[in-house]
Amino acid sequence: MTVAAAAPPVLLDLSTSEAETRFARQLALVVSSVDVIPGPPGLLESSVAAQLELLRPVVGAADAAIWLDDRQPGRLVAAVAVVERQRGVVRLVEVSDGEGAEAALAMGVRELLASLYVDMAVVPPPTPAPAPAPLAVESGPVPPDASPPGPPADSRRLALSVQGAQPVRRGTRYGGELAATFAVGDHLWIGPSIGAERGADGWWIHPGILAEWRLLVVGSQLSLVEHPWGLQVRPGLKVGVQHALRPRLRARLMVVGLPRRDVVLQGGSTRYDSGWVEMAGALSWVWGPMR
């Protein structure tokens, strides 16, 4: 027997994130009626049992409370709670962040709502006792029935950058870089990169390896330099930090160490001197999951 909710389910407003806004819009399309109310402070950081206690003043018996947790990079998690006098049920729906993730999450929540009300339909009467009946808590991930179309996008991303480099000595350069990185651990992304720059009396090509961990960026590059006086090959090791200016726009500042110093003398004077260190900056647009 299926039991209908005594009142429409409520969606708890816990943040101002774009993911929560998109999820609320998709949920309104697949659930007949959803009320949006402010969520209780500290809900996301609490244990399941504590969450149920926080929800009791917010929702009535047999009502469902829904909220989104997008704190984990690359994942979206929706929680659905049904709270009754004697017990409560909390279930989770989790999807990979990417194109269509909020729509898939909303579909999973709709299916979960139906199953939860069936589970809560028959509640045994409380046994007389001097102490109140214990609170039974059920929790666990429930995979959604619907998935975003296309291949999974949570393990790879592309970044296109405009960049510039300034050696300590002289020779400013400007150009761009394309990097393809892959998730190999918790917040760790590694992959190849290729850059091209113009300046310092020639063309510069930079194949290399790039690694990102949260705000930290490290990498290596092998600069192929086409100068008027010939072709030079110069390795480099770089380390720096990056910052998200917008959800997919990042700024990066790097220090590049040059194990090999290039010096060109012409007519008894120095025509070019790379020095041992140079500074580099970049603005990058990222396709794929953000961390």
In the predicted model, residues of the chain with pLDDT beneath 70 are: 1-7, 60-63, 85-86, 117-154, 169-170, 290-291
Q: Give the integer Cα–Cα distance in Å for 26 and 107.
A: 8
What pLDDT does 283 receive? 93
CA distance to 13, 109, 112, 151, per residue, from 144 (Å): 22, 7, 8, 16
- The SS3 of residue 17 is coil
How high is the pLDDT of residue 290? 62
Most distant CA pair in the chain, distance: 103
Query: Quick one: pLDDT at residue 128?
Result: 53
Say what the pLDDT of residue 34 is. Answer: 81
Residue 252 pLDDT: 92
Torsion angle defined by CA atoms of residues 114, 115, 116 and 118, in that order, rounded to the nearest 10 degrees? 90
CA distance 226 to 291: 37
The whole-number pLDDT of residue 61 equals: 53
pLDDT of residue 240: 94
| C-alpha to C-alpha distance for 58 and 54, rounded to whole angstroms | 7
Tens of pLDDT, residues 89-108 = 888 889 988 888 899 999 99
Rg (the chain; Cα; Å): 28
Contact 78, 93 (CB under 8 A): yes
pLDDT score for 160: 93
